[in-house]
Structure 1
Amino acid sequence: MEYYLTALRKYAVFSGRARRKEYWYFVLFNFLISFGLGIIDMVLGLAGEGSGFGVLGAIYALAVLVPGIAATVRRLHDTGRSGWWILIGFIPLVGTIVLIIFLVAGSESGQNQFDAA
């Protein structure tokens, strides 16, 4: 939970680095919270009929959009890549797979062009 809160505290910090643990715990907690909110939306009847999205889930998704992008950019910095590599995710299938490989890759040890280790 500490890593999730750390990512939220760095709300719009696109500089620096994010270790693998910090990034993937943030992703895990986002998934769990989104799943829980989805269930609450369905129980309360707040989910849209065709879309499956609910009001609570949509509000949460908007709230963590910027921290999610910032954490991804910092994670890419930790692997020695520019944050602009996040845009490769827009290429269907292949881009997403390449981005996931970059995010799973090990950290660049020592100091790199983005920050000290």
Structure 2
Amino acid sequence: MPANFSAYATPVLLLVLSNVFMTFAWYGHLKFKSSPIWIVIFASWGIAFFEYCLQVPANRLGHAVYSAPQLKGMQEIITLLVFAGFSVWYLGEQIKWNHVAGFALIVVAAFLIFWE
């Protein structure tokens, strides 16, 4: 394993973890539709705090080895993967062919960001 492997891997791991928190902050409340909106908003803010505690260091550390557009492209792909899993396992919603096709186009766009 290269000595600088962690410089490349740590930002990715932090982005994955931050996206788990943000997905719960943005969509977790959909299972609690009877809860008052103000409670949902404060709960989402509380969850999002931890997302920021991971996302900011991910981008700060990641910018040493990735460009800002590359970090954003990675974040979008990670977001799609985390959201797809969340949608199926937590919300019980199916991912349909058109969702996969749309997500695939976003993956192609992110791939182009890394193309030198």
Please, what TM-score do these two structures have when normalized by structure 2? 0.39
Query: Where is the helix percentage greater, Structure 1 or Structure 2?
Result: 2
